[in-house]
Amino acid sequence: MSTLAPTDTSDRRTGAAHRKPELIDAVPVRHPGRWAGAVLILLFAALLGQSLVTNTNFRWDIVGTYFMDVLVIQGIGWTLLLTVLSMAIAIMLAILLAFMRQSDNPLFRGVSWTWVWFFRGTPVYTQLVFWGLISVLYPKIALGIPFGPELFSFSTQDVITAFMAAILGLGLNESAYLAEIFRAGLKSVDSGQMEAAEALGMRKSKIMWRIILPQAMRVIVPPTGNETIGMLKTTSLVLAVPFTLDLTFATNGIANRSYLPIPLLIVAALWYLVITSILMVGQYYVERHFGKGVDNIVPAPVKPTPAAAAAKAAKAPKVEDELP
């Protein structure tokens, strides 16, 4: 290092590196309010804890007895099945409805708008009762030429069972809400993405499915997770159909027979909490998947083909030029 050039920046930098800077050790701002608040909250938590233990009306023994009861476990199974199937129907319909709403075809836009208007505009309870009564309205469903011969027919009661009616009622209603969520998601994607894909000669359906929707999912997943958790609880309305095997109906039934409503409500509430927590974990992973490249940049999933790897290896010695 030249001593003749004391103004040389590299010299100055090395000098600074030798002398360790004195690190700042400032006194942080104190927050007495937080401590007072924490004490209050702890106090209330302790009181709540004490009452949970000492209040015999909770009947924790009954909660324990029925927590793993066969009827309760079966109820969970049905509730989960209702949630999963009705959400699956709702998501498929919502994607279709959102695509239709963005279509150039005015017919598609109209149908999509009307669907959302109707299913969002009437109470889900009413829709469930309606699906339960569909066999009264249409005892037989037949396909044929209007005023002409009938091609085939079936009895409505055989096809639209209580379970079917519950899923249709929940799924169609939910599809209207999800369609709006999906529409918002599709709109959130930069219009340059559509242009870039169009310029590459991709067809609209491919662009939507492969370019726009995957990016929209970042925006779509959080509210859809919210809707799924909402659906889990909304399944308790299926007694309107009536469908009588879900968790709420099962625990209600036991409560009515044993005259012990409170512990059975706790059983149901605890199970709903458990399932919600599991769903939240699932949502975390779904969000991570669709955040790929934007929210979380993980090592890329592409494995180069042997040919590409060889081609790359052959050219590897070539020096890269983009280092700033």
Partner 1 sequence: MTITNDLMTRETLVRIDGVHKYFGEHHVLRGIDMTVRQGEVSVLIGPSGSGKSTLLRCINMLETISAGRIHVREELIGYRETRGRLHDLTVKEIAAQRREIGMVFQRFNLFPHRTALQNIIEAPTQVKRQSKVKARSRAMELLDRVGLGNHANHYPAQLSGGQQQRVAIARALAMEPELMLFDEPTSALDPELVGEVLSVMKDLAKSGMTMIVVTHEIGFAREVGDTLTFMDGGVVVESGNPRDIIANPQQARTQEFLSKVL
Footprint on this chain of partner 1 (rule: CB under 8 A):
190, 192-193, 195-204, 206, 210-211, 214-215, 290, 292-294, 297, 299-300, 302, 304-305, 307-308, 311-312, 315-316, 318, 320-322, 324
Q: Which is nearer to partner 1, 140 or 210 (CB)?
A: 210
- Shortest distance in whole angstroms from residue 244 CB to partner 1: 44
- Shortest distance in whole angstroms from residue 102 CB to partner 1: 14
Q: Which is nearer to partner 1, 22 or 320 (CB)?
A: 320
- Shortest distance in whole angstroms from residue 202 CB to partner 1: 6
Q: Which is nearer to partner 1, 24 or 297 (CB)?
A: 297
- Shortest distance in whole angstroms from residue 312 CB to partner 1: 6
| Interatomic CA distance for residues 88 and 91, integer angstroms | 5
Give the helix/strand (H/E) hosting 141. Answer: strand 140-144
Helix count and strand count (H, E) for the chain: 15, 2
| Interatomic CA distance for residues 217 and 288, integer angstroms | 11
| Interatomic CA distance for residues 279 and 292, integer angstroms | 20
- Shortest distance in whole angstroms from residue 110 CB to partner 1: 20
Please name the residues in contact with 273: beta carbons below 8 A apart, sequence gap of 6 or more: none
Q: Which is nearer to partner 1, 243 or 290 (CB)?
A: 290
Q: Which is nearer to partner 1, 1 or 300 (CB)?
A: 300
Which of 122, 189, 133, 195 is closest to 166 using CA atoms? 133
DSSP state of 293: T
Residue 123's identity, in one-letter code, is P
